[in-house]
């Protein structure tokens, strides 16, 4: 838990969210400002500022994050048509909340290149 971190407060229930999944390592909830019919955020319970903050000891945690996201995507029926994972990283990456999060975005056609 990091002081003044929005997503740590969401994990702790200090700020309400629509919970999608929780286990001892991973929490998932609906994005407050969805950019597609499905827009779910998957985050480690351990506070990491961004994905580059991960170290060797976090390798298993990163794997769990992706596996949880895969299950959520499957439960939301995104498997057949596909979807997009996004990890915005730092200022140029468009990151606005500095607690590592994996966006699951799906339910419509994505475009490339991203904005």
Catalytic site residues? 101
Query: Looking only at residues 30 through 89 of this chain, which bind Zn ion when binding is defined by CB under 5 A?
Result: 47
Q: Which residues bind ligand 5GP (CB under 6 A)?
A: 6, 15, 17, 29-33, 88, 94-97
Question: Nearer Cβ to ligand 5GP, position 17 or 70?
Answer: 17
**Cβ neighbourhood burial of 20 (10 Å; 0-12, 13-18, 19+):** middle
**Tokens representing 12?**
């702790």
Closest CB to ligand 5GP among residues 32, 59: 32
Please tell me the distance from the alpha carbon of residue 111 to that of residue 42, in angstroms, as a whole number.
22
Q: How far is the CB of 82 from Zn ion (least distance, A)?
A: 30
d(CA 63, CA 10): 22
| Length of the chain, in residues | 115
Q: Which does 8 bind (CB under 5 to 8 A by kind): ligand 5GP, Zn ion, none?
A: Zn ion
Q: Tell me how many residues contact Zn ion (CB under 5 A).
A: 6
Asked if 49 and 58 count as a contact pair (C-beta separation under 8 A), the reply is: no
Task: Please give the residue ranges that form the binding site for Zn ion (CB under 5 A).
Answer: 2, 5, 7-8, 47, 99
């Amino acid at each position: 838990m990091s002081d003044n971190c929005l997503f740590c407060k969401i994990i702790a229930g200090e700020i309400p969210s629509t919970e999608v999944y929780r286990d001892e390592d991973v929490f998932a909830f609906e994005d407050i400002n969805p950019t597609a019919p499905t827009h779910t955020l998957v985050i480690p319970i351990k506070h990491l500022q961004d994905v580059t903050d991960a170290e060797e000891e976090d390798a298993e945690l990163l794997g769990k994050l992706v596996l949880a996201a895969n299950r959520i995507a499957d439960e939301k029926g995104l498997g057949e048509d596909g979807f997009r994972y996004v990890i915005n990283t730092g200022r140029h990456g468009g990151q606005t909340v500095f607690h590592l999060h994996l966006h699951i975005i799906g339910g419509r056609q994505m475009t490339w290149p991203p904005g």
